[in-house]
Amino acid sequence: MKQRTPLVSHIFTADPSAHVFDDKIYVYPSHDLAHDGEDNDDGDEYQMEDYHILSMDNLDEETPCVDNGEALHMKDIPWVSKQMWAPDVAKKGDKYYLYYPARDKDGIFRLGVAVGDKPEGPFKAEADYMKGSMSIDPAVLADDDGKYYCYNGGLWGGQLEKWQTGEYVENPAEIPADADSLGPFVAELTDDMLQFKETPKMIKILDENGEPIKAGDEDRRYFEGPWMHKYNGLYYLSYSTGTTHYLCYATGTDPMGPFTYRGRLMEPVLGWTTHHSIIEYHGKWYLFYHDCELSNGINHRRNVKFTEIEYNEDGTMKTIFPYDHLDK
């Protein structure tokens, strides 16, 4: 089954974080607002203000995807000034924890957390952002041993390069092409799921020779949108290369890295950004992603889709060509 039609069309959705709770699929996307602003490298065109959680009873093509309404809005979060971008959700006990990035009153991206009793919300936000948080695109792994890890980070508009010294630097020096590329941050979460247990560390992504991938290697280097899943006991870190518009992945034996580059998960889609998630459902694996089909290519008017993932016998993932069905 190759489902590549938008899940919903009445609103623009992007950056889908998909999960299975009680045998039902929930998708936590960002909510693109239609406007006529210009695109730029700081991402000012992405003016999202709230979250709508989508849900489906199964992944059959005829099954409708339900919009469960507004689950959280920036007006209800004291520290947020604008731009609530790509979120994720984790479940622990009988509570659901929504992790999201937004700019604080100084214009710096931080991560916040909101708590709910149901997977579709509503969610009540903590009054302040997570201590020590920075940048964008949180993704949380619930590991088999009961530990929870938060991954995040994005270049340019996501401000990742501004944190190279451990402190926020508004105008950092340009990273040389032969320097080690930046990676996402990772930190284990506290038992109450509201803070980091430790200072987040930056993950290294290595090439086939065990050397760090370089900043100038735009076909393979990390840009944004981390996602972590496990397959046959191995950790898979997948991410977007940004400028070259690939989804790539790397594998490792430790949730905190390092990870070794293994290949491309998906070729470019219509639109600039690529952001995704991966779930297992009824014995099959699925990729949730977005493109700009509904808006005919307007970068900040995106729509969420999904398609099936296939693994090779050696654990590598078969590359997905998102529009190959159009040639058949």
Domains of the chain: 12-175+184-190+272-327 (2.115.10.20)
Average of pLDDT values for 182-192?
98
Instruction: Measure the N-to-C terminal CA separation of the chain; round to a whole number of Å.
Output: 14
Q: Measuring CA to CA, which residue among 231, 224, 150 is closest to residue 190?
A: 150
The pLDDT, as a whole number, for residue 60 is: 87
The pLDDT, as a whole number, for residue 325 is: 75
* Cα angle 224, 113, 28; round to 5: 60
Question: Which residues are 266's β-sheet partners?
Answer: 247, 320
- Catalytic entry in 45, 137, 161, 224: 224
The pLDDT, as a whole number, for residue 327 is: 63
Whole-angstrom distance, CA of residue 107 vs CA of residue 19: 30
CA distance readout (Å), 150 to 23, 47, 250, 251, 312: 24, 24, 17, 17, 28
Q: Are 282 and 289 in contact (CB under 8 A)?
A: no
Tallying the residues shown for the chain, one arrives at 328
Instruction: Using the structure block, give the residue that is written with the tokens 């989508």.
Output: 54
Q: Is 295 exposed, middle or buried (0-12, 13-18, 19+ CB in 10 A)?
A: middle
| Per-chain mean pLDDT for the chain | 96
- Catalytic entry in 15, 32, 88, 120: 15
* Cα angle 81, 109, 107; round to 5: 50
Tens digits of per-residue pLDDT, 59-115?
987 889 999 999 999 999 999 999 999 999 999 999 999 999 999 999 999 999 999
Q: Which amino acid, 279?
A: I
Cis preceding linkage at 101, omega within 30: no
The pLDDT, as a whole number, for residue 50 is: 98
Tens digits of per-residue pLDDT, 39-69?
888 888 899 999 999 999 999 878 899 999 9
Q: Which amino acid, 202?
A: M
Whole-angstrom distance, CA of residue 85 vs CA of residue 41: 15
- Indicate whether 150 pLDDT > 70: yes
Q: Are 33 and 12 in contact (CB under 8 A)?
A: yes
Q: Measuring CA to CA, which residue among 270, 274, 150 is closest to residue 224?
A: 274
- Indicate whether 144 pLDDT > 60: yes
Burial 68-77, CB ≥16 within 10 A → b, else e: eeebbebeeb
Question: What pTM, to 2 d.p., does this model score?
Answer: 0.97
Token pair recorded at residue 184: 């996402």
Burial 49-61, CB ≥16 within 10 A → b, else e: bbbbbbbbeebee
Q: Measuring CA to CA, which residue among 309, 308, 296, 322 is closest to residue 12?
A: 296
Would residue 198 show up in a list of annotated catalytic residues for this protein? no
Would residue 167 show up in a list of annotated catalytic residues for this protein? no
The pLDDT, as a whole number, for residue 38 is: 80
The pLDDT, as a whole number, for residue 2 is: 58
Whole-angstrom distance, CA of residue 65 vs CA of residue 56: 5
Q: Which of 40-44, 173-177, 218-222, 248-252 has the lowest average pLDDT?
A: 40-44
The pLDDT, as a whole number, for residue 328 is: 56
Q: Are 160 and 181 in contact (CB under 8 A)?
A: no
Tens digits of per-residue pLDDT, 228-277?
999 999 999 999 999 999 999 999 999 999 999 999 999 999 999 999 99
